Amino acid sequence: MIAVALATLCAVVYGTADFFGGLATRRSRVMAVVVLSQGAGLALVVALMPLLPGVPTAPALAWGMAAGVSGAAGLVLFYRALATGVMSVVAPTTATTSAALPVLYGLATGERPEPTALGGVALALVAVLLVSRDSSRSASEGGYGPLLTSLAAGAGFGGFFVLLAQAPEEAGMWPLFGARLSSIGLIALLALATGRTLRPGTGALRIILAAGILDMVANVLFMLAQQRGMLSLVGVLVSLYPASTLVLARYVLKERLNVVQMTGIGFTLAAVALIAAG
């Protein structure tokens, strides 16, 4: 039950971080938002280390750095897919793939959730698909290229969770430290190679820092959740984060949600209840 509560809170915080990140990208270049927000997250994890101490072993840092590379690759591929495809295909494909990978890995490595919890997992995967839908453009546009890129992006995001879960429990926050170092380095090198600016836009810095801090808080919650529960359940709960982003967009930005997305939010609540009951 503690793992379910932590994973659900993690999804809410992840969704809030994405909401702030979306606001920041309206005022700054994407690369600047990613690097600066992840820098803020790195500073936070360093500050948290005395409160959540751990052992900085080579395996802990290696798993963390591998997770960081996977997450950064997923992010680059996700933006690539958005640039060449349409949101109505890219978002649900990426989100569902990232949710399914931890589930498949957990089941393959011997995790056996209760039937009620497995029903919640199935409902959660449907919920992720629904809340990520955007009916503003035709899903038939873009061809297979963006679809394949979206699948790869989802694998990168899902791989982040799977790889991070491999770090020893006694490592504390050191895997997150390694993840941030590798992801910042990779994205910064990509920005330099492509000539992208890392300077934030006017008035965007505070929003970027908020996004980065919230993202790291969510990462910490994920670490705590997966140490106390099955990855197959924690991973899919965490992947419900688009629901909180949609709710914030609805009530803060007054954006309208379509019927499919509203149904997905309802499925999200039902999925959490089923997984908690299992």
Residue the block writes with tokens 């910490």: 220
pLDDT beyond 60 at 138: no
pLDDT beyond 60 at 136: no
**Percent with pLDDT over 90 in the chain:** 37
Give the pair of three-digit tokens for residue 46.
């360093």
pLDDT tens digits for 153-166? 989 999 999 999 99
* Alpha carbon distances (Å) from 34 to 17, 71, 84, 136, 187: 12, 12, 20, 26, 8
Q: State the pLDDT at residue 58.
A: 94
pLDDT tens digits for 231-243? 989 988 998 888 8
- Which amino acid is present at 207? I
Q: State the pLDDT at residue 140.
A: 47
pLDDT tens digits for 50-84? 888 888 899 999 999 999 999 989 888 887 786 67
Residue 263 domain boundaries: 2-277
* Alpha carbon distances (Å) from 170 to 22, 57, 161: 34, 9, 17
Structural domain count of the chain? 1
pLDDT tens digits for 195-223? 888 888 888 899 999 999 999 999 999 99
Burial of 48 (0-12, 13-18, 19+ CB in 10 A): middle
What does pLDDT average to over the chain?
Answer: 87
Q: State the pLDDT at residue 87.
A: 61
- Given a contact cutoff of 8 angstroms between Cβ atoms, the answer to whether 226 and 100 are in contact is no
Residue the block writes with tokens 């149904």: 263
Q: State the pLDDT at residue 10.
A: 94
112 backbone dihedrals φ, ψ, rounded to 5°: -135, 85
Q: State the pLDDT at residue 88.
A: 59
Contacts of 209 (CB under 8 A, 6+ apart): 36, 37, 40
Nearest Cα to Cα of residue 106 among 116, 117, 95, 93: 117
**Residue 139: pLDDT band with limits 50, 70, 90:** very low
Give the pair of three-digit tokens for residue 129.
């698909």
